[in-house]
Structure 1
Amino acid sequence: MFKLCGFQFLLVIQWAMCQNLGDLSLAGPLKDMNFSIPEGAGVRPIYQFISETPVIFRATGEKDGIIDIVPKTGMLYLNGSLDRETKAVHRLQVECLDENGDVVKGPYSVTIYVEDINDNPPKFDQTTYTGVVRQNSRAGKPFMYVHATDPDDPTTPHAQLTYSILHHFPNPYSDMLFQIDSTTGAISPSRTGSFYLDPQKQNTFTLVVAVKDMAGMTTNAFTSSTDVIINVKESLWKAPPTIYIQENSTETHPVNISQVHSNEADVIYELFEKEGLARFPFSIDRNGVIYVTEPLDREKKDSYLFYAVTKDSVGELVDKPLQIKVIVKDINDNPPVCENALTVFEVQENEGGGSTIGTLHATDMDEKDTLNSRLKFSIESQVPAVPSSNMFIVQQDTGTLQLMSSSLNKQTAANYSLKVMVTDADFQTICEVQVHVIDINDQIPIFEKSDYHNVTVAESIPVGTVILEIQATDTDEPDTGSSHIIYQVEEGDPNHKFIIETDPETNRGFVKINKALDFETDKVHNLVINATNPEPLVSGVQYNASSRTLFKVFVTNMDEPPTFQQPVYTANVSEDIPVNTLIVKAEAYDPEGDTVRYSLEGDVKKWLKIDSSTGNIYTASALDREYKELYKVDIVATETKNAAQRSKIPLILHLKDVNDNPPQLVTDYPTFFCYPVRGGEKALIQATDVDGHVYVPRITFSLGDDMETKKNWEISKVNGTYAHLSPKHGNFEEKVYIVPVIIKDSGNPSLENKVNLEVNVCQCSSEKSCYIKLQHENSKPSVGQAIGILLGVLLVIGAIIGGVFFHMKYKQKNEKKSQQKDAKDQTECVELNQ
């Protein structure tokens, strides 16, 4: 039973002799006990059982040749190293025997739990892994896993494993193309990999993947590695080529027209369109097959553009949307359509053979520039068929109608009805055409008067007013171009101030004002009017004096307001120009020649003044762009003889900036540091500059040039308007410090401003804001303070006594007056009653 070697036995005995048997953690009476002992570490004592009477201790059970007990001393010990991975728990029984070997105490249960130490490195399940990833696969979506195990206790960090990628061969980009989940070992494309992976450029990658135990949190962790070979395949997620579908298909719908494939399995396919169609005639099934769900009509819609998308189980997009384009192919399913139910042409009876009468228009809704929409024209019938049945011909491809000969005679036939057949490859349509034979224009218009004499109008007459009615007649066929009359001013109106409109039923002309008249420019207009027809006259007939008339328009004068030379005046000036600088010269004239005087309106800042005689405008006081960058006033011109006649136009002053304002410190918020100052604190300060700057103001911050300030504080720039103020140490008292700060703008020349910034070092509340600390109750005033307090108290007491005295005197005086008034009132009442 006692099998220790001599050296080991001596160690255990030495340990036992050196122990204080009263130390219950290392020695004690025999009883049920549990021990937790770290694995490894070799020979060592565990516990010493003590008995009051001489006995022999015996241990049985799961000793496994490693655990035993010294019979005479009760020393439980290890004679080798425990291994948790071999056996995690050892259960023993310990008992006491007398000299005869009889059990006098026990047995008691002794359980030894083996505590884990990190003594096993993790190992991958495979020496080499192989995986496949598709081009354009979703970033973060795993396409393979690596797995390692660690025999250490899984409830401790010893077996908590962390994965990482050590190397990436090749690595053509600055960022890795792959990433690994440190916990699960899932390998997926990174954002860069999702975008750049391309089997045409690189189809194989080798990753060196490492695994660490201890959750990767210590340098003493064990590490293993493995190679992961990744093959890159082309993306399955590709847009199909343009899909062509023949319209009005008679197939049973839905019809399979294409298919898309995602790089990932178990995705949900969907279609969406942006056009907001009332009916969307396409669908997609769970396998990515795209269908057209009903026959399409090219004439309603000739193409469709929509997108295929894939989603995962929670509705997130898996792949980038694919654009699907569908073209609807035309068939000849529409007949020609006449543009008008009845097309009417006019032709003069003297037209020659081959003359074009007009063009018949028809349309076909089938696809343009194809045989399905190609139209051909032919004449089917002519009524009446006099003097022949083929008086007209139509050009087959254009529909242009022409005369075959010059045999038209209105007395023979005034109208012809034609039926024109229009055909495409499969359909035909009849279009109705009427040809009216009209009289030739062999009569000229004749005025009823050769002279309408004089018309007098004021120059202020409104545009559009009728000033005269004129009349000419034409004996050609009524309601034709041969008899309709057009009146025009032939002479005397180079500026087109008059216009003549014709009543189409009576041919009466109305002379109207077309533009404003001006007495000062033209006092009299001598007008010559001619009358013509839209249709040209026949050969040998010409317009003559009978088709002309004349009259005079006398314009009377009206008093008009002054007129400015310009509709608006503008000036660009620097805000620092001297007072009395000439800015603008305003000019106005009076049409009647009256003298004009000038004034200003709306000059709220009194920045300007105007010379009433010349219109010269000068600065009257200093300008300020920061108040108003765009300053607007009105220039007024008034007749000296009639003040009611006045005109007004705007003057817009654009003020250009100069650097005339130093920057200012923004004090909208307090500057403070919490007491005690610990170091590293920063207070944000801001400066502004009201001057105009390109983009943003550039303000520099610096501290005042004194040793105390620079010893305690430092300032650092944040941007063009902000800086940080920081304490240099923590030895600050609770008080307000005055910190001189110099702020300087970027103007040319630059301006600077020295500001005394109040910085409060104070106790802070839990919300990190200052509060004022009350004075301690046990603090005592100084002698000077005590005298001041005493004098203050005496003055207050004296003021109170004086106030009481004056109040009593005032009250007595008022009571006396009140008594006298009451007596007087009583006397008056008595007199009234009597």
Structure 2
Amino acid sequence: MRKLDLRGPLQDMTFSVQEGTTGVRVIYEFTIEPPAVSLRLSGEKDGITEIALRDGYLYLNGSLDRENKAIHRLQVEALNEKGEKVKGPYSITINVQDINDNSPKFDKTKYYGVVRQNSRPGKPFMYVSATDRDDPATPNGQLSYSILHHFPNPYNVMLFQIDNITGAISTSENGFHLLDPQKQEMFLLVVTVKDLAGMSENALTSNTDVELIVKENLWKAPPDVYIKENSTEPHPIAIAQVQWNEPGAKYELLEKERLSKFPFTIDQNGTIYVTEPLDREEKEQYSFFATAKDDGGVDLDRPLSVTVLVQDINDNPPVCQKALTIFEVQENEKEGSNIGTLHATDMDKEDTLNSRLQFRIVDQIPKIPFDNLFIIQQEAGTFQLTRASLNKRIISNYSVTVEVTDKVFTTLCDVKINVIDINDQIPIFEKSDYGIWNISEDTPVGKVILEIQAADADEPFTGSSEIIYKIEGGDQNKIFIIETDPQTNRGYVKLNKVLDFEMSPEYNLTVNATNPEPLVHGVQYNSSSTAYFRVVVVNMDEAPVFSKNIYIGDTFEDVTVGTLVTTVTANDPEGSKIRYTLKNDKRNWLRIDTLSGKIYTAAPLDREVEHEYRVQVIATEENKKPQSSTADFTLYIKDVNDNPPRIVKGDSLFFCHPLQNGVKAEIQATDDDEQLYFPNFTFSLGGDENVQNVWEISRIDGTHAYLSPKQSNLEKKNYIVPLKINDNGKPPLEGNLTVQVNVCKCTDDHRCFIETENHGGMPTIGMAIGILLGVLLFIGLIVGGVFLKMKIDGKKESKTNAADPSELKTLN
């Protein structure tokens, strides 16, 4: 045997040796120190582990197999010339390291399954499972499933997929659309499993067959349901049915929209009922979902959409749009002229016979100069004049009754027809020139700046005498508007928009007065219906105007100081120079160039302190009476990965001694950086090999992990366990942390308590008992002495009383 560099005195040792190595292999050389002359090895040698008695070589004389025994525990002792033990025993632990020497094996030689047409992609309909005798904590025992191919393959695409971790088989997107038992009822899948997580060409593999039968999908949406409104049949009434592929499903209905009442229900056979008569005028269509759930309340498949359409019947009468409809007709109106249209509605379905309305005049009052002076179009409801024979001086208005019918219901509507004067007079202004009006440019919008007046000699309060004022010239931007008082025909000129001296210092306006009714033939508007006035805008000093009211910028938190983040601009209407300043820059993170408006970073940014930094920008004129304007600027600070993970729960743990198998404690981590999605931390142990042999960390999810001891014989004391937690940033950051673990004796309710130490100055239990007995004996002697003294005193008193009877006599 050749000498090793690994040598040393007798002590507890732990070795890691790879399985499968053949021949003689020296593990360690123990130095033998007098009076010891030889070594003795005992324990789980299994005919493989030996020690050279005089030379101290610990060696293997054969091959270890981790699958048969993962840990070999031995003891070594040092002996003197007489074979007597002088040192030891010392514990020797040999951990057998795994190699990939076992192929994965499926738990069945062939699998059989059923898949339904339109089975959802990714939803498993069956599983395959394999095991590997190699160490599952290493890639040697980590398995990956895949589908090699399936027979037949009618579409040259994969119709099925498998979860490479769980072995769950489901349809692919193609399978969801293409599987059809009428075209292909059976498939044979060839599924393979590989160890080494399927990541190596040297992985060991196994195959199995999966025979599938495709069945029709019974879970289909029913066709649209049509129900006549206001049904008189007994309710509930069955209207549709849904059916899950297997018996035992629990059916429910879900509303698509919030309704005051939901008039549908479903029984456990999947039959859908309407529970009461429906009213189309209340709601014409109902849409809801039917769901199928398992016993645990989990959806078996996607919900089915159910649509119920309510069919109309003629159950609504016509309704006059107005209680009284009023028309106006000029007395010179010609024969056949349209006077107006009577409007009526019907709540039954539009564009059907149920809502078709027809009109008929049934009465006219008065019947002067004759009856049937008016006619009405039967379908449209439009009034026409039969003869040109109206005379306002004889009859100023007519009352007409109209019958409106939908063939089932009839309604009477009232119409009043006013005969109005003809428009043969034009409006005339009280004056043609209203002069010059000086208006400050800061005059508020809506303020009346001028009143104008024209008069019309036609009949008052008719379209012939009503006056409409309109600015015809000098106001291309519609700065001014004119409103008319209908009682007095007075016009009020108001500001419609803000005045701006710099844009237009004055306006020369022309106003026309007209009637809404057309003038009679031969009469025309002239200069009497036109007036003029001039508006002079008085200039005012105005504050600067920003190009935007709100500015927004963004930058990463790690930008260098002096980075440009945005530029603001403002202009003064009078042309004064502008200086910029910042307000409410509470962290002094920004600075602004007073002349250009460019805003730069002035200090390092920190998104974790503030991610929306808001300041105000002040623009101030440079003149004798400066004015200022304010705009808002928001800087959105984008995150960079500059904070390592930290522990928020579990940095101080305890386990009850003696340790039980499977005990574990939860650790929770967080990261102060922005998490766009769910955090995903990686947990691992730090420290040397001793830490790896004593403790184990296992991930629960992206933020939690379990810490558990690997050994059950840990002594009672505090342990410091180093941890490494990596985030998923780009690049990732690592937190090097420690967890304090106390292995302690616990109370019955599993709480750690600290035993009081037995100091030299304090009595032991035996001493305490002795002291107690001594105290009791001392108290007994005192009590006995007291009783003895009382007895002696009593006897003396008796003798005294007997010797002096005269005292008794005296007492008597």
Q: What TM-score results when the alignment is normalised by the length of structure 2?
A: 0.57
* Equivalent residue in structure 2 for 1:633, among 615, 619, 632: 615
Q: Is the 8 A contact 1:468 1:510 kept in 2?
A: yes
Per the TM alignment, residue 340 of structure 1 is displaced from its structure 2 partner at its CA by 3.4
- C-alpha separation in 2, matches of 1:580 and 1:327: 66
- The corresponding residue for 2:554 is 572
- The corresponding residue for 2:706 is 724
Q: Is the 8 A contact 2:335 2:385 kept in 1?
A: yes
Matched, 1:563 2:539: no
- C-alpha separation in 2, matches of 1:726 and 1:172: 42
Matched, 1:521 2:516: no
- The more displaced of 710-719 and 597-606 is 710-719
Q: Is the 8 A contact 2:263 2:274 kept in 1?
A: no
Q: Which has the larger radius of gyration?
A: 1
Deviations 1:252-307 (A, max 9, x none): x97997899999xxxxxxx999999899999x9xxx9x9999x9998889999999
- The corresponding residue for 1:696 is 678
- C-alpha separation in 2, matches of 1:241 and 1:618: 64
* Equivalent residue in structure 1 for 2:742, among 740, 757, 761: 761
- The corresponding residue for 2:520 is 538
Q: Give the direction of change, closer, same or farther, for the CA distance of 1:559–1:672 in structure 2 (3 Å limit).
A: same
Deviations 1:703-729 (A, max 9, x none): 335233333333333333333333332
Per the TM alignment, residue 531 of structure 1 is displaced from its structure 2 partner at its CA by 1.2
Q: Give the direction of change, closer, same or farther, for the CA distance of 1:557–1:396 in structure 2 (3 Å limit).
A: same
Q: Give the direction of change, closer, same or farther, for the CA distance of 1:673–1:561 in structure 2 (3 Å limit).
A: same
- The corresponding residue for 1:747 is 729
- The corresponding residue for 1:109 is none
Give the secondary structure class of the aligned counterpart of 2:745: coil
**Amino acid corresponding to residue 746 of structure 2 in structure 1:** S
Q: Percent identity?
A: 51
Please list, as runs of the form range in 1=range in 2, the aligned pairs for 1:330-369 lying within 5 A after superposition. 336-364=318-346
Give the secondary structure class of the aligned counterpart of 1:572: strand
Per the TM alignment, residue 359 of structure 1 is displaced from its structure 2 partner at its CA by 1.2
Q: Is the 8 A contact 2:644 2:671 kept in 1?
A: yes
Matched, 1:506 2:472: no
Give the secondary structure class of the aligned counterpart of 1:469: strand
- C-alpha separation in 2, matches of 1:769 and 1:691: 36
Q: Give the direction of change, closer, same or farther, for the CA distance of 1:476–1:239 in structure 2 (3 Å limit).
A: same
- The corresponding residue for 1:584 is 566
Give the secondary structure class of the aligned counterpart of 1:763: strand
- C-alpha separation in 2, matches of 1:756 and 1:364: 78
Q: Is the 8 A contact 2:681 2:727 kept in 1?
A: yes
Q: Is the 8 A contact 2:544 2:570 kept in 1?
A: yes
Per the TM alignment, residue 468 of structure 1 is displaced from its structure 2 partner at its CA by 0.6
Q: Give the direction of change, closer, same or farther, for the CA distance of 1:440–1:277 in structure 2 (3 Å limit).
A: same
Per the TM alignment, residue 392 of structure 1 is displaced from its structure 2 partner at its CA by 2.1
Matched, 1:651 2:633: yes
- The corresponding residue for 1:465 is 447
**Amino acid corresponding to residue 441 of structure 1 in structure 2:** N
**Amino acid corresponding to residue 731 of structure 2 in structure 1:** P
Please list, as runs of the form range in 1=range in 2, the aligned pairs for 1:302-701 lying within 5 A after superposition. 336-364=318-346, 374-411=356-393, 413-425=395-407, 428-641=410-623, 645-666=627-648, 669-701=651-683
**Amino acid corresponding to residue 651 of structure 1 in structure 2:** F
Q: Is the 8 A contact 2:657 2:745 kept in 1?
A: yes
Give the secondary structure class of the aligned counterpart of 2:642: coil
Deviations 1:78-121 (A, max 9, x none): xxxxxxxxxxxxxxxxxxxxxxxxxxxxxxxxxxxxxxxxxxxx
Q: Is the 8 A contact 1:491 1:527 kept in 2?
A: yes
* Aligned Cα root-mean-square deviation (Å): 5.5
Per the TM alignment, residue 420 of structure 1 is displaced from its structure 2 partner at its CA by 2.9
**Amino acid corresponding to residue 571 of structure 2 in structure 1:** Y
- C-alpha separation in 2, matches of 1:649 and 1:304: 51
Per the TM alignment, residue 608 of structure 1 is displaced from its structure 2 partner at its CA by 0.7
- C-alpha separation in 1, matches of 2:241 and 2:609: 66
Structure 2 residue ranges without an equivalent (≥5) = 1-110, 117-123, 127-180, 183-217, 244-252, 291-302, 763-812
Q: Give the direction of change, closer, same or farther, for the CA distance of 1:709–1:463 in structure 2 (3 Å limit).
A: same
Deviations 1:720-742 (A, max 9, x none): 33333333323433222233323
- C-alpha separation in 2, matches of 1:281 and 1:731: 66
- C-alpha separation in 2, matches of 1:298 and 1:720: 53
Q: Give the direction of change, closer, same or farther, for the CA distance of 1:536–1:254 in structure 2 (3 Å limit).
A: same
Q: Is the 8 A contact 1:673 1:759 kept in 2?
A: no
Please list, as runs of the form range in 1=range in 2, the aligned pairs for 1:113-132 lying within 5 A after superposition. none
Q: Is the 8 A contact 2:648 2:668 kept in 1?
A: yes
Q: Is the 8 A contact 1:336 1:422 kept in 2?
A: yes
Per the TM alignment, residue 607 of structure 1 is displaced from its structure 2 partner at its CA by 0.5
Deviations 1:398-447 (A, max 9, x none): 21111224444434543333333334435555433222222222322121
**Amino acid corresponding to residue 564 of structure 1 in structure 2:** F
Per the TM alignment, residue 356 of structure 1 is displaced from its structure 2 partner at its CA by 1.3
- C-alpha separation in 2, matches of 1:675 and 1:759: 16
Per the TM alignment, residue 575 of structure 1 is displaced from its structure 2 partner at its CA by 1.0
- The more displaced of 272-281 and 443-452 is 272-281
**Amino acid corresponding to residue 455 of structure 1 in structure 2:** W
Q: Is the 8 A contact 1:247 1:328 kept in 2?
A: no
Give the secondary structure class of the aligned counterpart of 1:710: helix
Please list, as runs of the form range in 1=range in 2, the aligned pairs for 1:163-202 lying within 5 A after superposition. none
Q: What TM-score results when the alignment is normalised by the length of structure 1?
A: 0.56
Per the TM alignment, residue 501 of structure 1 is displaced from its structure 2 partner at its CA by 0.5
Q: Is the 8 A contact 1:763 1:773 kept in 2?
A: no
Deviations 1:336-363 (A, max 9, x none): 5544343221122333332211112334
Q: Is the 8 A contact 1:738 1:756 kept in 2?
A: no
Structure 1 residue ranges without an equivalent (≥5) = 1-167, 177-199, 202-234, 264-270, 309-320, 781-834
* Equivalent residue in structure 2 for 1:733, among 715, 718, 726: 715
- The corresponding residue for 1:54 is none
Q: Give the direction of change, closer, same or farther, for the CA distance of 1:707–1:302 in structure 2 (3 Å limit).
A: closer
**Amino acid corresponding to residue 487 of structure 1 in structure 2:** Y
Per the TM alignment, residue 631 of structure 1 is displaced from its structure 2 partner at its CA by 0.8
**Amino acid corresponding to residue 765 of structure 1 in structure 2:** C
- The corresponding residue for 1:221 is none
Q: Is the 8 A contact 2:658 2:745 kept in 1?
A: no
- The corresponding residue for 1:785 is none
Give the secondary structure class of the aligned counterpart of 2:691: helix
Deviations 1:628-670 (A, max 9, x none): 1111111112233367722111110011112222222335651
- C-alpha separation in 2, matches of 1:261 and 1:453: 83
- C-alpha separation in 2, matches of 1:404 and 1:505: 34
Q: Give the direction of change, closer, same or farther, for the CA distance of 1:597–1:325 in structure 2 (3 Å limit).
A: closer
- C-alpha separation in 2, matches of 1:765 and 1:595: 79
Q: Is the 8 A contact 2:714 2:743 kept in 1?
A: no
**Amino acid corresponding to residue 683 of structure 1 in structure 2:** A
Aligned length: 561
Q: Is the 8 A contact 2:650 2:668 kept in 1?
A: no
- C-alpha separation in 2, matches of 1:346 and 1:423: 25
**Amino acid corresponding to residue 587 of structure 2 in structure 1:** K
**Amino acid corresponding to residue 561 of structure 1 in structure 2:** A
Give the secondary structure class of the aligned counterpart of 1:461: coil
**Amino acid corresponding to residue 562 of structure 2 in structure 1:** N
